[in-house]
Structure 1
């Protein structure tokens, strides 16, 4: 099923839906356009256009595969970062256990492209979505689905929606990251009550504990490690109390893209439990990385001997106005560039096939379709120049571009990544 679905992506026709692609490619299939190996800069691509670096994408995939293996972690990268089935499968090829998703619709996308293991890092109480999950589990014995629970009420709603289901739905108790954090049970006593509620049903099976350390208030290494230690202790206590009696393995899961070094450190100390433990890391932003938020907080900054992720995105825009010596405007704005965490950063200027650093050029503001550039004295910039922008926050970068060229360093486009929202 996965191969057939990916082939259908390659058979999709190129047209006006996909911004940045060459207008003269209309009517070609995506596969036919990829086979032409056009050059991003000289073969008709129109600005603005977002591109992924083929080399950096492969580097990041290999690096996290190596990291997870080195630290004895299973890996279910968070698909909400990209929602790109081609990247899901590349991650699986690089050793991923499965894919993490955030909402039921994303699980449906993953299933449509053959993903057999889905971890929903969220509570699920919607009856229609739960019935769909039950149907998928009944139809496919190889499908593994896990989601959060964090309340007795939530367990009751799930149980009611799943009445008569052929297979129980696997759940993990979500431990909240602290007062003022997002979802999750706040105390260990409440965790036990939720676990007891799950045990009282025939429709759910408790298989572990999980949470998101990125929500720890005023997160720093000590606070994050303290919360992760609580998470591990919760798994140990629930196991001693026999709450995982039906589980074939115990899932202990955490790991956003800012603190996975702390996850690896604390999870290394998980003791032997009654059944094997699946130490499941969920970091997802690594696949494209970025030039803003995640570049600042990546654990590889703290542990450089582990390697370094490389920003794989670059948004190319064109200078369309240079009204004063201190100001310029390019034709990419909020609808093109991720801007929810940091503004884009001007990296390079391209003119007549030659690239140079964007020295003295800064993005100061975004309008819907323009980026405002401040240009220092001596900054060389003309109308018609292409400006390569680095982006922050991969999630909202992927969301803005339904078909993204994957280009080699010389500009040769070797593939196109289809995204879903």
Structure 2
């Protein structure tokens, strides 16, 4: 008797079945049962960072709209909103669509909305109930937005961006801000909802000089522009926004918003993104600056994101090759070896509370999927299969290399698998 015929599996289903076989179950240890390399977020510092930045914003009378491009991880968006975030900031229309589909109702696009395909995405989000804001900095873009959204029968909330000469986008002077505001006021489908800025462009234009005075001046001009737009009757909403702040200078922006007592009329919104997992490079250094300026803040943010990889080869004395590369971790600064573990096996192996030394280890070169580690003399205990935890600079450029990141506890047990939406 013939066996009953079964429906042939489609190619996408085959690929999904194969990929699911390698998916770690919750409760598994990073030292056993998880295919490495893997990106891991530690639960305790993550919780600390969420609460720390929310308290900081509230203490300055501001709201928090974390920049979601950093992680594009809906599970983290949900945690940020649950911690009290006002909304989520995004960089592109598809990112906004992904965030809204993941349950984020209030979206701030901190960029100009250009191109009818992107406008159509946003129109669909507004029609589906999203509260949406985007940035304008020029006449041509404002008129294009006005035509498109008028044809759709929709009203678009826009924020005028204040830039700096030699910087990125944004109106180069307050005079251009007011000219653009009058144009927006004349477009029936556009509603001026406030002012937007990004102080990072000031540091780019400072050419090595101390950027702090220039950032303070920029923040003051941003506030002054918003207040004048309000006095001139050009604001089209009842609760207008004033928003700025990346992950390096948020303290200076918050202080400027607080000193101007903007919350009496405006909704001040801070937009740091990298704080959620912090880092071991660029933002660790920036945080030192924040704490030096504000010693009253005491304990700052804690790095929560690490990438775990294994020693793959010991081809010659003083050299270890680790299975970690540019496809796995950010590399605008070379990753930093943090700790080492012995691979856990059925007979012998390491534990999360038993770390081996990486003192003197120096990552000298990073290829697509190989890291060259220069070992100090006497490193006789290094073995193929050893697991090394690496810290990275600029978490945006690590998250975008992963389809999922693993939430782990201090014992390196996987608590949750968090999918990304890049």
Common fold: TM-score over 0.5: yes
1:357, CA displacement in angstroms?
A: 3.6
1:129, CA displacement in angstroms?
A: 2.1
Looking at CA atoms only, which structure, 1 or 2, has the larger radius of gyration? 2
Q: 2:165 aligns with which of 174, 179, 202?
A: 179
Cα deviation per residue 1:138-173 (whole Å; 9 max; x = unaligned)?
342xx2110000001111111121123333110010
Q: Is 2:249–2:290's contact at 8 Å kept on the other side of the alignment?
A: no
TM-score by length of 2: 0.88
Pairing 1:188–2:174 present: yes
Q: Is 1:82–1:419's contact at 8 Å kept on the other side of the alignment?
A: yes
1:6 match: none
Cα deviation per residue 1:20-59 (whole Å; 9 max; x = unaligned)?
xx73x5xxxx8xx33xx112212x1122111110111111
1:362 match: 362
2:212 match: 221
1:151-166 equivalent positions in 2, closer than 5 A: 151-166=138-153
2: CA distance, partners of 1:235 / 1:152: 19
Q: Is 2:262–2:268's contact at 8 Å kept on the other side of the alignment?
A: no
2: CA distance, partners of 1:16 / 1:334: 24
Q: Any gaps of 5 or more consecutive residues in structure 1?
A: 1-12
Change (3 A) 1:15 1:391: farther
Cα deviation per residue 1:210-239 (whole Å; 9 max; x = unaligned)?
110011122621111111111011111111
2: CA distance, partners of 1:233 / 1:386: 53
Runs of 4 or more above 3 Å deviation:
13-18, 164-167
1:371 match: 371
2: CA distance, partners of 1:172 / 1:233: 15
Q: What is the RMSD of the two structures over their aligned residues, measured on CA atoms? A: 1.8
Tell me the number of residue pairs that the alignment of Structure 1 and Structure 2 aligns.
Answer: 390
1:290, CA displacement in angstroms?
A: 0.8
1:17-416 equivalent positions in 2, closer than 5 A: 17=19, 23=22, 25=23, 33-34=25-26, 37-42=27-32, 44-140=33-129, 143-176=130-163, 178-216=164-202, 217-218=205-206, 220-244=211-235, 246-271=236-261, 276-298=265-287, 300-302=290-292, 303-306=294-297, 307-339=299-331, 341-351=332-342, 352-353=349-350, 354-379=354-379, 380-416=381-417
Q: Is 1:134–1:166's contact at 8 Å kept on the other side of the alignment?
A: no
2: CA distance, partners of 1:272 / 1:377: 59
Q: Any gaps of 5 or more consecutive residues in structure 2?
A: 1-14, 343-348
Cα deviation per residue 1:227-278 (whole Å; 9 max; x = unaligned)?
111101111111121111x2111211001000001011111122569x7210
1:10 match: none
SS in 2 for 1:252: strand
Which piece of structure 1 moves more, 381-390 or 260-269?
A: 381-390
1:133, CA displacement in angstroms?
A: 2.0
Q: Is 2:97–2:125's contact at 8 Å kept on the other side of the alignment?
A: no
